Amino acid sequence: MKNKVILFAFLLLPVLLRAQSDQSAKDTGAAAWREKGVVAIREVPVWGQRPMKSIGVQETKFDSVVLKENIALSIADVLTFNSSIFVKQYGRATLSTVSFRGTGPSHTQVTWNGMRINNPMLGMTDFSMIPSYFIDDASLLHGTSSVNEAGGGLGGLVKLSTAPAAADGFGLQYIQGIGMYRTFDEFLRLTWGDERWQVSTRAVYQSSANDYKYRNRDKKENIYDEDMNIIGSYYPVERNKSGAFDDVHVLQEVYYNTGRGDRFGLNAWYINSNRELPLLTTDYADDMQVENRQREHTLRSVLSWDHYRNDWKIAAKAGYIHTWMAYDYRRDPGNGVMTSMTRSRSNVDTFYGQAEGEYSVGDKWLFTANVSLHQHFVKSTDKNIILQEGGKGIVGYDKGRIELDGSVSAKWRPTERLGLSAVLREQMYGTKWATIPAFFADYLLSKRGHVVAKASVSRNYRFPTLNDLYFLPGGNPGLKNESGFQYEAGLSFAVGKEETYTLSGSASWYDQHIDDWILWLPTAKGFFSPVNIKKVHAYGVEAQADLAVALAKELKLGLNGTFSWSPSINEGEPMSPADQSVGKQLPYEPEYSATVTGRLTYRSWGLLYQFCYYSERYTMSSNDITLTGSLTPYLMNNLSLEKGFAFRWADLSLKGTINNLFNEEYLSVLSRPMPRMNVEFFIGIKPKWGKRK
């Protein structure tokens, strides 16, 4: 069916590029923007079919420039302002987790260059540890669509990867950032390449005292008269002095192209993080009397080989992850000596291997097969936890688990308008097996406006994490696997007028019934423990829209908005006579979320505004304990102004950013203060040495 579908895709402002189009056309616009700072709205004819791999898939793709919009921030902030998923974070350089469609962070799978990087202890990923400067390609696979890449993503999957620098000769880029609260950001990239080799070294160093002021509404100070009678009270203004951080990231990439259809790659990413954790707002201790610190050393590495032919492809990967994490909580009990209250150490080693293949039969069939292996070795220790088993002392746990994942798929496009896809995935965790089938369909309703209808259904499973099973105290070895059916349907469109405007958008409805949902709840013994809730019903609507308008010859406006309604209802049996959580929204999951992004560009000037909103309520019950309430709506907003300069010897850029523009006061769910207004300035230089592709 080649040369029968003509899609006019418009290169939008990078932050707004979401139209469904061929990837190569999108990359062309991104490269132009990086050089000049502005993308003209122009017509690009894309000949060919809709990608066979994308049949029925609900996917959100991010342009490479969107990933660098707020370079000092992590990938968590990129997802916060440019997608409908929920990103829970506690301020910069603190834990940031991602969840889709009313599910939890452990229901989100995350891959980096094909390798899953979810922590096997927690089942989740800390996105604050992923600089957006290190990610070249990012996309979200919502709900059922995640089955195409991995199992266990009851909510969805975040797909991250790097790409060759496409350098010709030697290249350098350096960016310096200086912000409030003694915040410093350094970004460096060195590249070298020719027709065969591409070599890139990236480094990020970020540090901050992070000692901002906030009004503590969890404390009250009384006002006394001369007779010591209380005549009033007020909330004190305090300074957070326990949130400093010092992070180093280094990414080394080497690619070799034989020119005969083979490409070899090496990616190695090292993290060295040292972070303080802010005290609770109800803690009256002097920060000099408390040390609350988290440290991490992580190495992620992937070796890859890709072999391409006209109708088929085979590839193989091997990887290794090592993570050492330490948490120390020390306190002065009053004698002037710091006493260790908690001393936790975790070592995680993961070995990874993968082989995959693709084969196409004409223009109507595409067959794929994939098998991957993750072998985890985890040792978790805490000086305060010692159990006895057979006369032997046990500190924490020392476990290993093998995870095998294989899939086959067949994709068929019998007509120009209709596409069908079937996926069968088999998973093994330890000694337990699960079969995950999925079916996808899409139909081109109208060539004018490229209106596409999509639908899918799947069965999915998630196995308990190692902490769910073995954490001390609270682990529950008797937990069952989570399982459920997912259904979804949606529409997408893309319209526009040459040199005038482009408009694209999508909306989807989903419904998911999950049995044996795992949730950590408080116990009467004073600690949390995971339990299986009999059933959870997660359903809702996701929508997004992009608009780019040429207001004048060199003045352009771009708008992007997302909205999510994500009820996640506990439909299980009451756990006790006092349990009031049945029929209520699950804790830690927002019911509503929305984001707005606006960008105004004039020549080499760029003005960007981003805003996001989350509304959360909760009902938690365990034994005879029931907690209900709601959190103050969670707001985040950024404003930045950028100016580019082009000289014969280098490209320069200046940028000023205001985070939390309206200076809102808010706390995290852990009753920790979050930063107020933060102003940061950046200067970047990119010398012009030799020719550039």
CATH for 57-687 is: 2.40.170.20
pLDDT score of 86:
87
Work out the number of other CB atoms within 10 angstroms of the CB of residue 64.
20
- Section 343-348 average pLDDT: 93
Q: Are 516 and 489 in contact (CB under 8 A)?
A: no
Residue type, 280: L
pLDDT score of 23:
37
Least trusted range by pLDDT, from 399-413, 456-470, 633-647? 633-647
Counting residues of the chain whose pLDDT is more than 70, the rounded percentage is: 85
pLDDT score of 544:
93
Show the beta-strand stretches assigned E in 383-430.
387-389, 392-394, 397-412, 418-429
Q: What is the DSSP letter of 467?
A: H
Domain ranges of the chain: 57-687
- Separation of alpha carbons 637 and 244, rounded Å: 22
- Separation of alpha carbons 325 and 347, rounded Å: 7
Q: What is the DSSP letter of 92?
A: T
Residue type, 165: A
Copy the structure tokens of residue 29.
Answer: 């616009």
pLDDT score of 631:
52
pLDDT score of 2:
35
What pLDDT digit, counting tens, does each position of 247-256 carry?
999 999 999 9
Copy the structure tokens of residue 320.
Answer: 């290794």
C-alpha torsion 587→98→347→669, nearest 10: -40
- Separation of alpha carbons 142 and 79, rounded Å: 13
- Separation of alpha carbons 530 and 179, rounded Å: 41
Model confidence at 20: pLDDT above 70: no
Q: What is the DSSP letter of 163?
A: -
- Cα distances (angstroms) measured from residue 272 to each of 89, 124, 132, 200, 616: 20, 19, 16, 20, 33
- Separation of alpha carbons 531 and 688, rounded Å: 59
Q: 693: pLDDT confidence band, cut at 50, 70 and 90? A: very low
> Pairing mode, if any, of strands 156-161 and 108-112?
parallel
Q: Are 629 and 646 in contact (CB under 8 A)?
A: no
The alpha carbon of 243 is separated from its chain's Cα centroid by a whole number of angstroms, namely 22
- Separation of alpha carbons 130 and 531, rounded Å: 31
> 312: helix, coil or strand?
strand
Model confidence at 7: pLDDT above 50: no
Q: 3: pLDDT confidence band, cut at 50, 70 and 90? A: very low
What pLDDT digit, counting tens, does each position of 523-558 carry?
877 788 898 888 899 999 999 999 999 998 889 999
Copy the structure tokens of residue 603.
Answer: 């020549």
What pLDDT digit, counting tens, does each position of 41-80 carry?
334 333 345 788 889 999 999 887 788 777 777 888 888 8
> 32: helix, coil or strand?
helix
Work out the number of other CB atoms within 10 angstroms of the CB of residue 234.
11
DSSP letters, 608-625, are EEEEEEEEEEEEEEETTE
- Separation of alpha carbons 318 and 329, rounded Å: 37
- Separation of alpha carbons 406 and 372, rounded Å: 6
pLDDT score of 46:
38
Copy the structure tokens of residue 23.
Answer: 């990837």
